[in-house]
Structure 1
Amino acid sequence: MRIRVAAVVVVVLGVLALSGCAATVEGRAFAGPQVSAGVDPVFVRDTDGSEDDRLAAAVLRDLEGWWATQYPPLAGGQRFVPPRGYFSVDSSRPGAAPPCTQSTDEVEGNAFYCPRADVIAYDRAALIPVLREEFGDSAVVVVLAHEFGHAIQQRLQDTSTTSASLGSGAPTILSEGQADCYAGGFLRAVHDGDLADLRTGDTGLDAAMSALITFRDPVGTDATDDRAHGNAFDRVSSFQAGYDSGVGTCAGMTLQNRSFTQQAFATLSDAQNGGNLPLPDLLRAMGTDLDRYFGGVVRAQGGTWTTPTVGDGDGCEQGPVGFCGADGIRADDRVLGRIHDTVGDYASGTLLASRYALAALAALDRPTTGRGAGRTALCLAGAYTSDVGSGTDFSLSPGDLDEAVNLLRRGDDAARGTDGAVADTTAYARIADFRQGVDGGADRCLALR
């Protein structure tokens, strides 16, 4: 965060290579369950028949079958034609390079769709096994489904009878967001058990989403960059749009109905400190802004707002920060400091905002206990996030929304009521509730049940 005017931004990774997508897998997230035992990869070029190739083959076969039903309504009734080929590449040794490359090492750690040859290639040596180890099998599903989404875009672009095409001049971030959206629609089918080969539960869904969060653009990447995929918030938002609403929503994405929060650093000093304030400075500046926002929410609802005191304490069994009724808001400075230092300043800021939200619920004589209260508090933290610094010189920095998303994928402290009850037991649900507040504001949050 920064004490100076600026716009909302985020971070994440995702680097384009060739005409596809590449990313360095970092950190450990959720251990996803097995998605499939796999199928015979005989239709994949240069396969070694390994378990990794069998899993990739299962994903590709189910993608073909699923898109055979999903594509015609988007393309004016035209039949879906699968890509011309799939290539399994061992980037660790010389060999035959797949189309659109000169050597196997160009594919290292990558999967891509090449529109010129209409093929999908993936690295079975430094991508598939790493995804499986770090996130679980469902990460392989989301990565290949994303690349398959680019094949769908190419087909729609070549189809003159449909308005679902992005067009050749679409910015990269919109194209990548739509591919994330298509991947979300496919993961819904996997989760719901609608496919022949693939199955996954809530843990696998969180793992797939966690991989997308990790594959984000570096903090401060401009949304107009021709390699931009979006920050964590953008990528998850696109994925959840497809998961919740289906591929028709994805096909209809435009810059008019789909906004992106990714933004470059506004100042050199912000870039140098990564957009992070020291914790004491954050608490001082954010406390004033939280008081402004939640006081306004309470008064707009006809209530009386009293600024809660903030002090050191154990969080009243709500986690590192808690709203403790008449005792105000209490924070375990050591735990909060670790979150601040390891995840980022707006991770600790999101926790603080969710506890101010509980104080606002109390001021409105609404329940602060139970699972619904925690859900509303998290949503209100999102509503505050979209309003940070309105009329003041306190604002979000590039990376802040990513820090909030990473906090929510790691734990449920921001989704707890004052009794510690948690409604959102999955990272998917927590991020979805936070997004409701960001997109819809306090009125939508106060209507939640």
Structure 2
Amino acid sequence: MRFNPKARLNTRRMGDAGRSGARGGGSGMPIPGGLAAGGGITGLIIVVVIVVASMFLGGGDSGGAFDTSRMSDTDRYEHCKTGADANDDVDCARVAVENSLYDFWSDTLPEFEPEQELRTFTGGVQTGCGQASADVGPFYCPADQTIYLDTTFFDEVLERQLGGPDGGFVEPYVLAHEYGHHIQNLMGTMGRVKTQQGPQSDAVRLELQADCYAGMWARAATTTEDEDGNVLITQLTQEDIEQAIEAAEAVGDDRIQSSGGGSVDPDSFTHGSAEQRVAWFRTGYENRSLRDCDTFAAGSV
């Protein structure tokens, strides 16, 4: 994956909470599981049904529940100015990917103005959905319309614990999946989730649709532009797409369950099997259609 050196990066929607020693707990409501917290990429957290979940599943209105502008910021992304910076620096590459996702979805769904924030942290962070730790994995909080990412996740969890790939396009796939949850929140899709476990459950359909949306973006990534009309991403190779597919396989419910030495229990799936996740990413990549990504309309996923 290569970025256009002449592209200008916009850090307006980026933030970093710095390092915290928290590993969960803390004040406020705890993250209530895969649905209220926008799923996360891995399904490592247990889906829990609690009353307050309905606050977060009603669509795009955050209700002012949490003001991220009052959160401390480390200015981690202040130096990211151009695509040349993105080619040389992983933090700036993250900015460029966010800019690309924002441009793609702004063009695809202009009626929703899909503005969000991408906030990184290390250890733990307070969110509009409660206190989160690195154990949650990357996730989207609809209450504050923010994607949260512990940047140690890719080496510590995805690669070492789950045997996932180590490559430059793995993080963009994960970010695209979480951005997909933001789109679902704006479109009211999260409110359609009633059944929370099982290979054909609404929870799994929500996650697979986010994978499909990630595929849609990946196919169009080299056409996305900065605010001046300069192309952001100049090269996306087949190897990049294979890295995304390997990452999707690694975070399948069956792969996660078997990696811990346990048996595979489809009735407890919350995110979909490796096969399902790869299939729906491919659907988005090959068909590039919101209609084809409608997992809730599919008879079987």
TM-score after normalising by structure 1: 0.41
| Match of residue 60 from structure 1 | 98
Match of 1:274 in 2: none
Q: For structure 2, which runs of at least 5 residues remain unmatched after alignment? A: 1-32, 45-71, 80-88, 196-201, 225-230, 259-263
Shift, 1:47, TM fit? 5.1
Residues 1-16 of structure 1 aligned to structure 2 (within 5 Å): 16=34
* Aligned-residue offset at 1:166: 7.2
Report the residue type matching 2:104 in the other structure: W
Distance 1:173 1:157, change over 3 A: same
Is the partner of 1:121 in helix, strand or coil?
A: strand
* Structure 1 residue 136 displacement after superposition: 1.0
* Equivalent in the alignment of 2:114: 81
2:140/2:147 contact within 8 Å kept:
yes
What is the alpha-carbon distance in structure 1 between the residues aligned to residue 186 and residue 43 of structure 2? 29
Q: Residue in 2 aligned with 1:167?
A: 192
Structure 1, residues 64-85: CA drift from partner, whole Å, max 9, x if none?
Answer: 000011124xxxxx242312x2
For residues 24 and 48 of structure 1, do their structure 2 counterparts lie closer, same or farther at Cα, with a shift above 3 Å needed?
Answer: farther
State the structure with more CA Rg.
1
- For 1:179, the equivalent position in structure 2 comes to 210
Shift in alpha-carbon separation, 1:87–1:250, aligned structure 2, 3 A:
farther
Q: Secondary structure at the match of 1:247?
A: coil
- 1:197 and 2:232 equivalent? yes
Letter in 1 for 2:248: L
Correspondence for 2:40: 21
Matched, 1:120 2:151: no
Equivalent residue number for residue 100 of structure 1 = 129
- The alpha carbon displacement at 1:55 in A equals 1.9
- The percentage of counterpart residues that share the same residue type is 24
Structure 2 distance, partners of 1:22, 1:230, is 11
Tell me the SS of whatever aligns to 1:21: coil
Aligned length: 206
**C-alpha separation in 1, matches of 2:73 and 2:96:** 14
* Displacement of 1:116: 1.4
- How do 1:424-443 and structure 2 match up within 5 A? none
TM-fit CA distance, 1:19? 3.5
TM-score (norm 2): 0.59
Residue from 277, 292, 297 that aligns with 1:235: 277
What is the CA distance between 1:229 and its match in structure 2? 1.1
Secondary structure, aligned partner of 2:109: helix
Contact 1:19 1:115 in 2 (8 A): yes
**Does the Cα contact within 8 Å between 2:203 and 2:271 map onto a contact in 1?**
yes
Residues 1:131 and 1:56: Cα distance change in structure 2 (over 3 Å): farther
Quote the Cα distance in structure 1 between the aligned partners of 2:294 and 2:165.
33
Q: Which has the higher helix share?
A: 1
Q: Secondary structure at the match of 1:88?
A: strand
User: Aligned partners of 1:19 and 1:212: how far apart in 2?
Assistant: 17
Q: 1:48 aligns with which of 55, 73, 76?
A: 76
Q: Distance in 2 between matches of 1:130 and 1:53?
A: 19
1:147 corresponds in structure 2 to: 178
- Give the unaligned 5+ runs of structure 1: 1-14, 26-43, 73-77, 159-164, 261-449
